Chains A and B, each alone.
Chain A
Amino acid sequence: MKKLGIIKSWVEEGSKILFLGCGSGEIIKSLQSSNKIKGFGIDIDEIKVCDAISSGLSVIQGDINNDLTDYPKKSFDYVIAHDIIQIMTKPDVTIRQILELSNKVVISFPNFAYIRIRLGILFSGRMPKTRILPYEWYDTPNIHLFTIKDFRDFCQKEKIKIVDEHYTGFNKKSVPRFLLPNLFSEFSYFLLSK
């Protein structure tokens, strides 16, 4: 699992949170114990959802691409889309939908402009593979990879406010904002509001 420390620092104690693609709920449990949150999850995988429910979590087996519009507007304090947006059929639609569901949204994603990825494609001439993007081109779930710059452009276009941001690079170490995060960070975290 990618680092959750920054997410934990963003989330207020006792909040009501919807986790997209929560899997078996490790992330919910982690934030429950650190931030005393009230967590809800949605995931498409039956085995993982059953594991989550079996451990006492409130999780719905469903398709994020279709099911987010059922929730009433602003029914959560946060929606957390951790390492999932790039998997969505229509990431723009999903992002707009989750901004309706809560006042604050956390989106984290692998940065496709990371230097190792750039060098990988430059020197090998093949689809790059990294520690966090280890898939072959034909079996990757990541159908909409993008970069930090792409995401910033999108936020600007959609008038989404970036409340805070955080980057991690080699060895999961934080990358300071002045150090060209689009080049040197492997994974990024954004706290957004509308």
Chain B
Amino acid sequence: MKNIKENKFNKFSDADSVGIVKTNYFSFANPPDELILFSGIKFGPITVAYETYGTLNKDKSNAILIFHALSGDAHAAGYNSPDDNKPGWWDIMIGPGKPFDTSKYFVICSNIIGGCKGSTGPSSINPKTGKPYGLSFPVIFIKDMIIPPKKLLDYLGINKLFCAAGGSIGGMQLLQWLVTYPELTEGAMIIATSPTHTAQAIAFNSVGRYAIIKDPNWNNGNYYGGEKPDEGLSIARMIGHITYLSEESMHQKFGRKVINEKSPQTGIVDFTKEFEVENYLQYQGESFIKRFDANSYLYITKAIDDFDITDGFENLSDALKDIKAKCFVISFTSDWLYPKEQLMKIVKALKINGIETTYTNFESHYGHDAFLIDDKRLKKLFAGFLKSLEEQI
């Protein structure tokens, strides 16, 4: 036991870890000054959970804003307590000497509105009723998700970002951020995302939502305090998780490995746990329900599906025309959820507008989740782009 404790201590005292970090909270849109959402609905108060790493410099010019993906949260790096088994979700990229080098930069990550990790979402208590919002929580769009981080920057006194980065739905928020606040950001890292959500991607999300809604415990979103729609949410996660991997990475990890042999004598077959890959997915589903709220999953996936950056514009290049940031776009060769064609559309639109753009279709067999994998070459790429931003400024 003593040894384990010591090991854990070593992790967060590592020279390249941000160490023990605290989640902070910030509130805005207090009635009667509620936020008018994209839908037109007035909503407030809104709490934003956020973490920061590194030190904001004197002229407040070294801030980097990170947008997290669907199941991410404000806890992007380091450890919230010495007992944590795992560091924040992008710890491989954030820390002293890492690409988002906290000895130079001030890194900010906030939990999205509609989420369940400290920011206001369907599981939060509605101050008017004293009960969780549930389905009375308003519909949220990606356009709404970027407002709380903007308010947070205002609150922190930051009016220029050195860089902003986001992968997957984080990349959608980043695109929206760049379109809504074109002057605010010097450099943008647009990772494994899509300018509009495709029919195939909507289809996967839809099946996930269906699994939740068909769970008898879901009860129209009124399950707080009672039995939760764990079955539905874990199935949704299992489906989602498949889309984050690739055929090759699943083959390498599991192949056709069998963990429970069929019994020819008795004829008994385990329909859910014969192959190792089945066991793995179930594990993913079961661990997800402990940390995620089913209603948040519904609201966030809906916002993703509704995302189309060209809404209200003639086309993609028209939508991106005002962007001032130098852009780094990256796709992954084995990502079939947001394949390179989607990212190349963004690159094309940026080029048409004469916006300084860097792009690579990065060779990786890890599928959509490749940006979360500790890969030396990927880290060098990130560091190289940030270096080019420094030289430019």
Asked if A75 is an interface residue, CB under 8 A from chain B, the answer is yes
Interface contact tally, CB-CB below 8 A: 64
Please give, as numbers and ranges, the residues of chain B lying within 8 Å of A62 by CB-CB distance: 347, 359
Find out whether the CB atom of B347 lies under 8 angstroms from the CB atom of A60: yes
Asked if A61 is an interface residue, CB under 8 A from chain B, the answer is yes
Query: Given A56-B384, A56-B387, A56-B391, does the pair A50, B351 have CB atoms closer than 8 Å?
Result: no
Count of B interface residues, CB-CB < 8 Å: 26
- Chain A contacts with B in 22-80, Cβ cutoff 8 A: 40, 46-47, 49-50, 53-62, 67, 70-72, 75
Nearest-neighbour CB distance to chain A for B357, whole angstroms, equals: 6
Asked if B356 is an interface residue, CB under 8 A from chain A, the answer is yes
- Chain B contacts with A in 329-359, Cβ cutoff 8 A: 333, 347-348, 351-354, 356-359
Find out whether the CB atom of B381 lies under 8 angstroms from the CB atom of A56: no
The CA-CA distance from A40 to B357 in the complex, in Å, is 9
Find out whether the CB atom of B363 lies under 8 angstroms from the CB atom of A46: yes
Find out whether the CB atom of A58 lies under 8 angstroms from the CB atom of B358: yes
The CA-CA distance from A61 to B358 in the complex, in Å, is 8
Please give, as numbers and ranges, the residues of chain B lying within 8 Å of A58 by CB-CB distance: 326, 356-358, 388
Find out whether the CB atom of A46 lies under 8 angstroms from the CB atom of B388: no
The CA-CA distance from A60 to B356 in the complex, in Å, is 10
Q: Which B-chain residue is minimally distant from A49 (CB atoms)?
A: B360
Please give, as numbers and ranges, the residues of chain A lying within 8 Å of B210 by CB-CB distance: none
Among B351, B354, B384, B391, point to the contact of A54 (Cβ < 8 A).
Answer: B384
Asked if B202 is an interface residue, CB under 8 A from chain A, the answer is no
Chain B 357-393 interface mask (CB, 8 Å, partner A; 1/0): 1111111000000000000010011011101100100
Asked if B67 is an interface residue, CB under 8 A from chain A, the answer is no
Please give, as numbers and ranges, the residues of chain A lying within 8 Å of B387 by CB-CB distance: 55-56
Find out whether the CB atom of B381 lies under 8 angstroms from the CB atom of A71: no
Find out whether the CB atom of B360 lies under 8 angstroms from the CB atom of A50: yes
Q: Which A-chain residue is minimally distant from B361 (CB atoms)?
A: A61
Please give, as numbers and ranges, the residues of chain A lying within 8 Å of B363 by CB-CB distance: 46-47
Query: Given A50-B377, A53-B381, does the pair A71, B360 have CB atoms closer than 8 Å?
Result: no
Please give, as numbers and ranges, the residues of chain B lying within 8 Å of A47 by CB-CB distance: 363
Find out whether the CB atom of A57 lies under 8 angstroms from the CB atom of B352: no
Find out whether the CB atom of A60 lies under 8 angstroms from the CB atom of B384: no
Nearest-neighbour CB distance to chain A for B2, whole angstroms, equals: 42
Please give, as numbers and ranges, the residues of chain A lying within 8 Å of B377 by CB-CB distance: 50, 54
Please give, as numbers and ranges, the residues of chain B lying within 8 Å of A72 by CB-CB distance: 352-354
The CA-CA distance from A88 to B333 in the complex, in Å, is 24
Nearest-neighbour CB distance to chain A for B333, whole angstroms, equals: 8
Give me the interface of A with B, judged by CB distance under 8 Å.
Answer: 40, 46-47, 49-50, 53-62, 67, 70-72, 75
**Given A40-B356, A59-B360, A62-B359, 15 other A-B residues pairs in contact with their CB atoms under 8 A:** A46-B360, A46-B363, A49-B360, A50-B360, A53-B385, A56-B384, A56-B388, A58-B326, A58-B356, A60-B359, A61-B360, A67-B348, A70-B348, A70-B352, A75-B354
11 A-B residue pairs with Cβ-Cβ distance under 8 Å, sorted by A, are: A46-B360, A46-B361, A47-B363, A50-B360, A53-B328, A53-B384, A54-B377, A58-B357, A58-B388, A61-B360, A62-B347
